[in-house]
Structure 1
């Protein structure tokens, strides 16, 4: 890691990069560390399967719904200031979650964590863009940042198993010292970052409509998974979601204070990055949710052994990150992204095919190794593609767009997989769930080639004209 840091920037920037990478690791860790703890949380707090899903979704919905607001706030008030406030709030919410005595308090704490992460994430990207010049230096810094983020997702499920063996509450409390370290490091090493733009307004109307639409849609999917929910209630929830989506789109078309900055809407690389992040989270990003339920509910692993069962996956994610950083420089980010999705699709399909055919080493490990490597390759390359052509001053908003897509996908996909699995999933239901994620990975493999062909046609048209 030291050699990578030395390549990414001078000694004066190592402290700043370390701080933002720690914060990114914290965000990714907090999202995935909860997975292995879910059965223990549900048992202690008496949460049904449909309510337990919201331990994941409460975080993901507010994270995805408010990320664009976080990007605008970061651009408006400055990345360093936004970073410091958000990381402190994140730590306080983690402490509240660790001491929660009922489901309502826990879900509220998860929501506040998602809220804080929505402001922290774009501030991190804004600080990276401000610290490293566009080109090779920034690409290398983003590759390292992406590697840390993907490793945090993988490490979370491993650490979650170890901590849950003590108490699920430690999966929240572990964040407190990390946030303190990030806050102190931010005060010491972070520069002002992206200059604050005092003339911009935060798009609160768009935020309410967009977040409300996502929340209503996930509630709709939750009701579909609940056998006690009436068809009228399900239909009403979908109708509310549709109306809020329409309201959001109308506001974006007519308002002078929009959520998605119009200067970013024509960025072709950003569009590819946004779709890639959605398909990444719908495929290997959701694998953690499926595997932790599979290990504990179907294979009867203890939380500790379930966490240890993720170690090979975590190791291959890290190797995939390292390979992607080199591959992006040698064969290009688009080709690297395609290979990552193809490898991931093969791994997920292998999990579906071999499921239930033997012990862990033969029916789970091969698929975990393949999908883990592909996971790391995708994570690094998708952010390099999405942020490389963004104009200066809009990095926070662009990064927020990509991560919004990622966690919007997380909220929707977890709800979708809950429907596929049903209340008491058996091997057949898990097999279908892995096939669903395989389909998303195959779609991701088609993304970059299609985008490259369209780009080539557009450039050819410009030359002819």
Structure 2
């Protein structure tokens, strides 16, 4: 007889693997997607940004919907939606359809991840059982990131469309597993869902990224660029006003006053602006400048993915011994050195001599930062708000990722050379250095007020 909690954890782990896989698998395929659908570089970056912005913008909404509707029905709806969006992306014949599918994937993921966490909370009692379940969930997420780097190269050799289609059987497996093994969702909340606040915030970021895209294509003084940036400001002001006066806010007042959460949110933003954007730059450097095939690029990413996993494991143990801020600082130092190495050595012809040392250092730093920034961010948050705090940290992470990709695309231009790539890598290096400064500051409310 099948053990229901273990079967539930297996299904939830597959869902988390799916979310992690979909984030990393697209980077290797991106040049092939852009070539096949005739996407200019400024537009191609939306294959990454459309997912990231919608995922981040509605993650907190997903958490509130989980509380209100129940984790099980939301999980089923989200995973089916993710599968449908993936299928549409896999058969897309135009860039517009593909970008719409990527946005739908991001929205589905924003509903799916909180449902996964909610089901872990209702299936496993607090304490050792839940801790073990969360450890399995986190490990599977890391393995999905590593698998995406390899599968992206392998599948793109046949067709980039398979990087979307691989999600379909996984989503079907999750939906069937949910019907067979998931239990009741638990008590539901009557709390209002901040859809309006999320729409304002997401709209502000979308129009800002659009403005940066248009600046890359048409210049800063072009009317569409100015209009997009102006609309971003208007939407952001509307979001801030809503958070001040509305009863249905996105960020609860008690969380705004939590110093550790504010530091964690800045750390996640700097993480994505540094090593979090390394996948994007490396895949363009290897394929566009050095002529690597998708398979060769995927194999070149393997050391990076493995070091990310190793950094996660070591950081988890080191936090207990040295403290979370020390581990965060060490991670950002390694990231700074690694990214600077790549920036200075990227012209070299030898992968092993010129790129690999920087990849190994930045990859290990990546894993250390990822683990410690969530520990710091949730350190002083009450148990009742842990889910929302985690969602806010992930929101900061992915919004920063979308904005950083837009900035890096602007820095690279339409026809980048090695000098442009050096500037782009130096931008990520500066963000990592900012993380070193942040982690060295004392964590006091006065310092962060």
Q: Paired residues, what number?
A: 446
Q: Structure 1 residue 456: deviation in Å?
A: 9.9
SS state at 1:310 partner: helix
Give deviations 1:23-57, integer Å, cap 9, x for gaps.
22211211221111111111111111111111111
1-structure distance, mates of 2:411, 2:225:
17
Residue 108 in structure 1 maps to residue 100 in structure 2: yes
Q: In the superposition, relative to structure 1, how do residues 187 and 387 fare at CA in structure 2: closer, same or farther (>3 Å)?
A: farther
1:35 and 2:21 are equivalent in the alignment? no
CA drift at 1:217: 0.4
Distance 1:190 1:387, change over 3 A: farther
Offset from partner CA, 1:334-388 (integer Å, 9 cap, x none): 3222222221111111111211133111111111111111111222222233335
Counterparts of 1:54-453 in structure 2, within 5 Å, are 54-131=46-123, 141-192=133-184, 195-197=187-189, 199-227=190-218, 230-452=221-443
Give the C-alpha shift of residue 439 in structure 1: 1.2
List runs of 5+ in structure 1 lacking aligned partners. Answer: 1-10, 459-465
Aligned-pair CA distance for 1:136: 7.0
Distance in 1 of aligned mates of 2:145 and 2:13: 13
- Separation in 2, partners of 1:141, 1:279: 29
CA drift at 1:244: 0.5
Higher mean C-alpha deviation, range 133-142 or range 165-174 = 133-142
| RMSD, aligned α-carbons | 2.3
Residues 114 and 287 (structure 1), Cα distance of their counterparts in 2 relative to 1, 3 Å cut: same
Shift of 1:146: 3.5
Contact 1:143 1:384 in 2 (8 A): no
Does the Cα contact within 8 Å between 2:220 and 2:226 map onto a contact in 1? no
Indicate the residue corresponding to 2:43 in structure 1.
51
Distance change in 2, residues 1:214/1:49 (3 Å): same
Note if contact 2:328-2:439 (Cα within 8 Å) is conserved in structure 1. Answer: yes
TM-score using structure 1 length? 0.89
Which piece of structure 1 moves more, 262-271 or 182-191? 182-191
Q: Quick one: distance in 2 between partners of 1:395 and 1:184? A: 29
Query: What is aligned with 1:6?
Result: none
8 Å CA contact retained: 1:142, 1:383: no
Deviation for aligned residue 1:271: 2.2
Pair 1:21-2:13 in alignment: yes
Aligned residue for 1:201, secondary structure, equals: coil
What is the DSSP-based 3-state SS (H/G/I as helix, E as strand, rest coil) of the residue aligned with 2:45? helix
Structure 2: gaps (5+ residues): none
Report the CA distance shift for 1:133/1:449 in structure 2 as closer, same or farther (over 3 A): farther
| Alpha carbons of structure 1 residues 137 and 376: separation in structure 2 relative to 1, 3 Å | farther
